[in-house]
Amino acid sequence: MHALKLCAAMAAMLIATAAVGPAAAQVSDTPPPVQKKTKKAKAAPKAPAAPVATSPTVAPPAAAPAETPPAAAQTTVVEAGTHPVKRPLPPPPHENCKNTGNFATWLEGFKRKAAAQGISRRTISAALDGQTLNSSVMARDRQQSFFAQTFLDFQAKLATPNRVQSSRRKIAENKATFDRVQRDFGVPASVITGFWALESDFGAGMGKFPIMPALVTLAYDCRRTEMFNDELMAALQIIDRGDMSPSEMIGSWAGEIGQTQFLPTRYLDYAVDYDGDGRPNLFRSDVDVIGSTANYMHNLGWRPNEPWLEEVRLTADLPWQEADLLIKHPLEKWSAWGVRRVDGSPLPKSNLTASLLLPMGRNGPAFLAYPNFDVYTQWNQSLNYATTAAYLATRIDGAPVMSHGRGLISGLDRPQTQELQGLLAKRGYDVGKIDGLAGQKTRTAVKAMQLKLGLPPDSYPSPELLAAMRGGG
């Protein structure tokens, strides 16, 4: 999934059910790295299975009945130690740009570029002839207002008990495959199914949008043209090698396909034929979906046998300036500052480091985010999405429902956040785009201003900070 959007099914649900509330945070303004395809090994021996750590507060669900893997799946081995070459990162979006070139002229130029890169004339004609601009796709890409919700509202709509139960059923149904990806990649079943549930509800909501018109529109549009020129070219490569026809490329309005919503470059780089039938199928093969998702997460840097997120309890006198995803401390230091497990017990003695994540400030829910949480923020850079997906995975593993924090939580709605961003920018702080969505740059600026004004520096845009700045603070 692209860093600044949700899949089409999720977006439609959010737009239909949620009013705009306090701004959702985004981790960064830079898209995650995308890397080159992992190759298969022909007969590499597998290492003995090792237990993979879940969230340190929970126990895994009861073991499911064993599944007999298909014969083909037993003969296909993916080499988990291969780290592909990274693709160049696209530039940041060109916000508020205006299209000036002629679309038909641009499309003919792209056809020539595709031919020069070895795409067959047959594929170019089948995929691109007759394509027109889709104004609704362009409008959706430039709006994306469904991020403006509180974390608690966001996760309540997405990390539902039904998704917890359906994820556990999916793990039981595919136990042999999940055991295999644990050996090959070290990624836990709960982590994979958490993403799988959020992205498409296990295939029920993959989207019904023909992605070629979407990719053509977004590749032409000036906002993210570099990124989507690569995605459109990758889609042509997928068609040209026979994996899919243009008519089979059905997904989200932003060009994502399959049950875990891979963009075409991600499909080319990470989709694997994990069931051994000769071709990756992220639409209908659970085995390929599981293997491809694990392969992608492995290459984003997933660390086997380590946790990713843990809810914790805090004291009232914590040094709040340390609560920042960019700051990592050993667990013993967090313990010294009074951080405890959610049941009140001490943190484990460990060499692990973690950040303190406060998605709704010092009075809201609190989490220790371990190094594996970085994979979540590379999958999707919306902090609300990343935290929700990570929390859902711990719930699948048996963690209790999170608390709502230590006291009254008050935040800003989107217009108020936009006003705060403007006031910070006038004082020389870099807040990124002034859009009412509090990304990492805004949160960094908020913390700096809180420190300057003597407010608790928890990086959360709050009414008290806005009031102080309105008053000339």
* DSSP symbols for 171-216: HHHTHHHHHHHHHHH---HHHHHHHHHHHHTTTTTS--EEHHHHHH
Residue 116 has pLDDT above 90, yes or no: yes
In the chain, what are the domain boundaries? Answer: 8-58+74-88+132-299, 309-396, 414-470
Using alpha carbons, list the distances in angstroms from residue 392 to 83, 218, 337, 353, 388. Answer: 28, 31, 27, 22, 6
Check residue 170 and report its DSSP letter. H
pLDDT score recorded for residue 88: 77
Three-class SS state of 157:
helix
**pLDDT grade for 15, boundaries at 50, 70 and 90:** very low
Mean of pLDDT over the chain: 84
What would the mean pLDDT of 357-367 be, rounded to a whole number? 94
pLDDT score recorded for residue 71: 33
- Tokens 């960019």 locate to 326
CATH H superfamily, domain 414-470: PGBD-like superfamily/PGBD (1.10.101.10)
Residue 66 has pLDDT above 50, yes or no: no
* C-alpha radius of gyration, the chain, whole number: 23
pLDDT more than 70, % of the chain: 80
Residue 276 has pLDDT above 60, yes or no: yes
d(CA 282, CA 416): 41
d(CA 462, CA 466): 6
pLDDT digits 0-9 by tens, 26-63:
343 333 333 333 333 333 333 333 333 333 333 333 33
pLDDT digits 0-9 by tens, 397-443:
999 999 988 777 878 888 999 999 999 999 999 998 888 888 889 99
What would the mean pLDDT of 227-244 be, rounded to a whole number? 96
Q: 9: alpha, beta or left, given left = phi > 0 and alpha = psi -120 to 50?
A: alpha
pLDDT score recorded for residue 470: 93
pTM > 0.85: no
Nearest to 228 by CA among 267, 246, 255, 207: 255
Dihedral sign of CA atoms 305, 308, 313, 315 in order? positive
User: Which range, of 23-37, 155-169, 209-223, 237-251, averages the lowest pLDDT?
Assistant: 23-37
Give the bridge partners for 357, in sequence order.
367
User: Which range, of 63-77, 87-101, 434-448, averages the lowest pLDDT?
Assistant: 63-77
Nearest to 379 by CA among 398, 368, 392, 367: 392
Give the bridge partners for 356, in sequence order.
368
